[in-house]
Structure 1
Amino acid sequence: MTLTIREQRPDEWAGIRALIDRAFAPDPAAGLLAQWVHEHGPVLSLVAEEEDLRLVGQVLFGTLQLVNDDDAVDVLCLSPLSVEAEFRGRGIARALVRHALAQLTDRPEPIVVLEGDPALYGKLGFRPASEFGIERPSDLIPEAAFQLVPLPAYRTGLRGQVRYPQYFFDIGAVGP
């Protein structure tokens, strides 16, 4: 299988949303979360396209706030990462994340955060956010599942709590 990873085109959103909904069915939270990020200015959306031009995977990045007593800093959030069921286990998710992280190196944000399986994301360089002094947005998220990868703009001593918009809680997109 030949796979191409590229930026999403504006006319592809409906197909991407359908891919996300299929990948996370029957839970609608990931699709609703992706729609919110899409409508609030995504930072990066990459797709994996099979040789027959079928979209088989997608990764989306938006911004959140890291808040401490002194200030607030924009950080990136990876959510969601989707791969069509019949294409899982072929390295598509890994390729999407690695390609995206390479594209984000010139960004001003210091970190990328996510909620996810440490066994999967640990292989991609993500570590528990608590190791960096970064607090998860909610106790609903297992500590090991709230992870980050530093970007070149990261500076030692960055601390605070990542804040999710209330909408994330309203749609059930927080925690397992």
Structure 2
Amino acid sequence: MDILIRQELPADYDSTEEMVKAAFSNEEYSNKKEHFLVKRLRNSDAFIPELSLVALNPAKEVVGHILLSKIKILDGEKAADSLALAPVSVRPGYQGKGIGSQLIRTALNKAKEAGNHSVIVLGHKDYYPKFGFKPASLWNIHAPFEVPDEVFMALELTENALENTAGEVQYSKAFSE
């Protein structure tokens, strides 16, 4: 499928939110509010415009979106910067065609190019490992809430980036509002 991936622009915001809402409308493990999360993250200090990407079809319609935002991994007084991958969305009818994978790979490459060292994701245990994600518990990194170990994962964008990192992930307030 011929898809263009580029940075999301303010002119895309409404169509992105509508697409995110549609993407999660039939998802079993969704609160159906991911589009509100995207909006809150854009208005937070965790937002990195260069890491908010859209996928456009040949008609230039938004059919996919991914957002990486700033988080911290806290261990007592020690804090390490990282990124959260959330959410990634693909419009129904376009799902299962590799658009989500293209968005993830592009976002991870852009994050690495921008000098980021790691990414955390809460996601499907059989999907994210194909991008290199491993259980975050391997680095003694854990979520600030109860979650099965196999769905809370981390990825080192640079070799051994998490070697001396451990602790609890601190998400932006936008995630809990």
TM-score, normalization by structure 2: 0.87
Larger mean CA deviation between 46-55 and 158-167 belongs to: 158-167
Q: Does 1:159 align with 2:166?
A: yes
TM-superposed deviation, 1:116: 0.5
Asked whether the equivalents of residues 120 and 153 of structure 2 are also in contact (C-alpha less than 8 Å), the reply is: yes
CA deviations 1:86-131 (Å, max 9, x no partner) are: 0111000000000111111134443111110011111111111111
Aligned-partner Cα distance in 2 for 1:100–1:125: 14
Are the aligned partners of 1:136 and 1:143 in contact in 2 as well (CA < 8 Å)?
A: no
Query: Using a 3 Å threshold, how does the CA distance of structure 1 residues 67 and 111 change in structure 2: closer, same or farther?
Result: same
Select which of 84, 89, 92 maps to 1:85. 92
Query: Of 140, 151, 159, which residue of structure 2 is paired with 1:145?
Result: 151
Q: Distance in 2 between matches of 1:79 and 1:146?
A: 12
Identity, % of aligned pairs? Answer: 28
Deviation at 1:160, TM superposition (A): 1.2
Give the equivalent residue in structure 2 for 1:19.
19
Quick one: structure 1 residues 8 and 168, their matched pair in 2 at CA, closer, same or farther if it must change by over 3 Å? Answer: closer
What amino acid sits opposite 2:136 in the alignment?
Answer: A
Give the 3 Å change call, closer, same or farther, for CA 130–116 of structure 1 in structure 2. same
Q: Which residue pairs with 1:99 in the alignment?
A: 106
Q: Does 1:28 align with 2:32?
A: yes
Gap change, CA 1:73 and 1:108, over 3 Å in 2: farther
Counterpart in the other structure of 2:8 = 8
Amino acid at match of 2:32: P
Deviation at residue 169 of structure 1 after TM alignment: 4.0
AA paired with 1:33? L
Q: Is the 8 A contact 1:112 1:151 kept in 2?
A: yes
> What is the RMSD of the two structures over their aligned residues, measured on CA atoms?
1.8
Structure 1 runs (4+) greater than 4 angstroms displaced: none
The amino acid of 1:84's aligned partner reads R
Measured after TM superposition, the shift of residue 166 of structure 1 is 5.3
Structure 1, 66-75 or 146-155: larger mean CA deviation: 146-155
Corresponding residue of 1:116:
123
Residue identity matched to 2:155: V
Provide the aligned length of Structure 1 versus Structure 2: 169
2:154 partner amino acid: L
Q: Which residue of 1 aligns with 2:44?
A: 40
Q: 1:162 to 1:84 in 2, by over 3 A?
A: same
The alpha-carbon deviation at position 152 of structure 1 amounts to 1.8
TM-score, with length taken from structure 1? 0.88
